[in-house]
A and B are shown apart, each in its own frame.
Chain A
Amino acid sequence: MLEASNLECVRGEKSLFRGLSFRLGAGACLMVQGANGSGKTSLLRMLCGLSPPAGGEIRWGGTPIRELAEDFRRELIYCGHAGAVKDDLTAQENVRMSARLAGQAAGEDEARGALRSLGLKGREDLPARVLSAGQKRRVALARLLLGKHRLWILDEPLTALDKAAVATLCGMIDAHLASGGMAVLTSHQELPLAAGRIEHLRLD
């Protein structure tokens, strides 16, 4: 259970939001919406623990994430604007290396399987340099399929994805929610999600 109470975000001199509270239980998805610069990414980075909130607290299962540190990070996967895809590595190596960085073991077959389900069959051994922006985004998202993370935090996951990939991603999120996972995501488009409870949060 992810819980935020009275969060405040300050960027420079300007306060982006304050008094923001929500709870997210198993199987729920929080859709964060708002104009450019309304603090969506800042909120997501706070929820991961990358940047401390200016005020308020974030708790995971009742304990502040600051105290949980690695125990919280083990449950979490974050896909930011930058996909951490290395141009010099092949798609398959990228998936395995980023899984290993996150502290999970990933075999070659698993990585290939994840890439195939994201529609990158036949491109597993191409260097990421020659992939298009959408294909790189798919490589970054392939890691979602490897671990057993309970909380997915996705910042604009639809950027550069085509219709087929959007449908695949929605299927992945649906399956994740159905198995009791949680997701927090930002998007300017409506995601056609089927299962789970979708809650909306507007930042203005």
Chain B
Amino acid sequence: MAETNILTALGGIVRRDLLLAARRKSDVLTTLFFFVIVVSLFPLGIGPEMDMLRKIAPGVLWVAALLATMLSLNRLFAADYADGALEQMALSAVPLGVLVTGKVIAHWLLSGLPLTLLAPVLGLQFDLAPASLAVLVVALAIGTPVLSLIGAIGAALTLGVRGGGVLVSLLVLPLYVPVLIFGAGAVEADITGLGAAAHLSLLAAFLALAAFFGPWATTVALRIALE
């Protein structure tokens, strides 16, 4: 009984956030266009030097993914905070941690997942080999949920703070560094022929840690913001 309730609530909040996003598509699309444009600027700026492009490709794609995720963090809790929905979540019979997890899943479906699917297309501009593109997709698939989970903590901590948008980047970007290093490192390792398995395992370990502590820390931060 209790478990089905939690699963229904989790599914319910994911569907709610997806529905809200579907009614307001521009929010989601700006993030994706930002990613596409930032990544496309590099080949245009550097010119057709294939060796150089191949070298910078993993870093550029990952940095752009971090910044795009950053941009979408503001809308994670701000609207619900302003119209009182967050208060209602804190008063729900369902534990707030479950609802927060649902919101983070919805956030990933709307930012991390599309970024992951777009990345191989954009990677072609950098002359990446098909095998490297595959590693890039896997690394992003494991890494972007970590970005959403850590970002949620930052978004919750800066809730209701003036200039929260800038503050959240200062707070969260340093925490993204390990994901950036091992995410970009995985693709580089594959290009140099070392194999990406070690990097991907480490990314998966980050994901396990973030999935365990992220929603908990976010819940604590949200309760403080609501007091």
Contact = CB atoms under 8 A, between A and B. Distances in A.
A76 interface: yes
B93 interface: yes
A78 to B, nearest CB: 5
Contact of A80 (B24, B84, B227): B84
Interface stretch (B5-13, B43-51, B69-77, B173-181): B5-13
Contacts of A97: 12, 16
Contacts of A49: 91
Contacts of A48: 91
B205 interface: no
Interface string A1-45: 000000000000000000000000000000000000000000000
A101 B83 contact: no
A103 B99 CA distance: 10
A100 B85 contact: no
B94 to A, nearest CB: 4
Given A50-B90, A89-B19, A82 B227 contact: no
A184 interface: no
Q: Chain A interface secondary structure, helix, strand, loop or mixed? A: loop
Interface string A100-112: 1111110000000
A83 interface: yes
A78 B88 contact: yes
B131 interface: no
A98 interface: yes
Nearest to A69: B95
B24 A102 contact: no
B127 interface: no
A81 interface: yes
Interface residues of A, number: 28
A82 B226 CA distance: 13
B221 to A, nearest CB: 15
A88 B90 contact: no
Interface in B85-110: 85, 87-95, 99
B20 interface: yes
A101 B99 contact: yes
Given A51-B227, A84-B85, A86-B83, A103 B20 contact: no
Contact of B5 (A82, A89, A103): A103
B23 interface: yes
Given A70-B95, A103-B9, 14 more contacts: A70-B93, A73-B91, A78-B88, A82-B84, A84-B85, A84-B87, A88-B20, A101-B12, A101-B92, A101-B94, A102-B91, A102-B93, A103-B94, A105-B8
Interface of B: 5, 8-9, 12-13, 16, 19-20, 23-24, 80, 82-85, 87-95, 99, 226-227
